[in-house]
Amino acid sequence: MRPVHTYRLSGVAASIIALLAAALLGGCDLIRMKQAEELQETTRKSVARVKDTYLYQDELAGIATENLSKEDSVARVAAYINSWVRKQLLIGEALKTIDINEAEVERKVLDYRYSLIGYEYQNFYIKQNLDENVSEAEIEEYYQQHTDNFILKRNIVRGSFIIVPRSAPRTDRVKELMFSSKEKDLTELRSYCLSFSSAYHLPDSLWMEFDKLVVGSPLAEIPNKVQFLKTNPYYETSDNESLYFLKIDEYKISDNLSPIEFVRGEIRNIILNKRKVDLAKKLEDDVYENAAKRKDFEVFE
C-alpha cells in the first residue's frame, strides 16, 4: 500500500485559493444574471425602436386607463409612442452635437423624480387636511389689510342690459318694466326676456365689467365710457337688427378700490392658497423633525 501524504497549505496559499473560488462562483453568478437579462430582453415584446434603444409593451402600462374607450386608449398609446420616438431622436442628435455631462443629467433626473414624488404626497396631505371653510370675517379682514391689491383695472357696474330684435312685440314696455320695483313686473320682465331677448342680464347683486356686459353691441364703441357712466343711468340705442336697453344701478370707475363683493371669490382663493402653502410647509417640517428624533439621517462633514 502506498503511503498517504498530507499537505498543509500556508495561510497565503489558502487565501488565494479562497479568492479564486469566490471569483469563480461570482463569475458564474454574473454569467447567469447576464443570461437572465438577455432572456428577459428577448421575451419582452418591443413596440418601437430608435437605433439600439427599444420601447417595450410592458412600459406602456398605466398610459390607457380603464375609464377610456377603446378608441381613446389606442389614440393615447399611439401618441405616447410617437412622443417617445421623437424624444429618442432628439436625444440622439443632442449626444452627437453637444458635450453632455451625464452625471449632471442624472442628478437633475433624480431631483425631478424626488420633486414629483414629494409633490404627489403634498397634494395627498393637503386634500386630507385642508379646511375649505372661509368665513365672511376672514374675507373682510384680508380685504381691509390689502386694499392696495384690489384697485380696479376696469369699470364695473350693477344693472340691467337687454337686447331684443326690432321685430319683438311690446318693446315700449321694456323700459317701464326695467324701472319697476314690483315683483310682478320683474317676473314679467324675466318672462319677456326668455321669450324674445337674444341676450340679457337682469339686475342682481353681482358686479360686472362694463365692457364685458355690452360686448358686441353699439355701446362697446362708446369712446369715453367713464363720462358715459357718470351721465347715463339709463340708455337706449339700436342698429339695423336689434334694440338695446341699458339701466345702470351702480358703477365704479377704474383706478378706484374694488367693492368687496367684486373680489370676494378672489380673496377666498388667496386665503385657501395660503393655507395650502402653510400645510405643505408644516408637512415638510414635521417629517424632518420626526426623522431627526428617530435619527433616521446624518449629515457628515
Tell me the pLDDT band of 68, cut-offs 50, 70 and 90: confident
Separation of alpha carbons 104 and 97, rounded Å: 17
Q: Give 131's contacts (C-beta < 8 A, 6+ positions apart).
A: 275
Q: Tens of pLDDT along 14-28?
A: 444 444 444 445 555
Phi first, then psi, for residue 281 (nearest 5°) are: -65, -40
Q: Tens of pLDDT along 155-214?
A: 999 999 999 999 999 999 999 999 999 999 999 999 999 999 999 999 887 999 999 999
Look over the chain and give the mean of its residue pLDDT values, rounded to a whole number.
88
Separation of alpha carbons 172 and 169, rounded Å: 8
Task: Please provide the distance, in angstroms rounded to a whole number, between the alpha carbons at the two ends of the chain.
Answer: 70
Q: Give 301's contacts (C-beta < 8 A, 6+ positions apart).
A: none
The pTM of this model reads 0.67
Q: How far is CA 121 from the centre of its chain?
A: 16
Across the range 214-218, mean pLDDT stands at 95
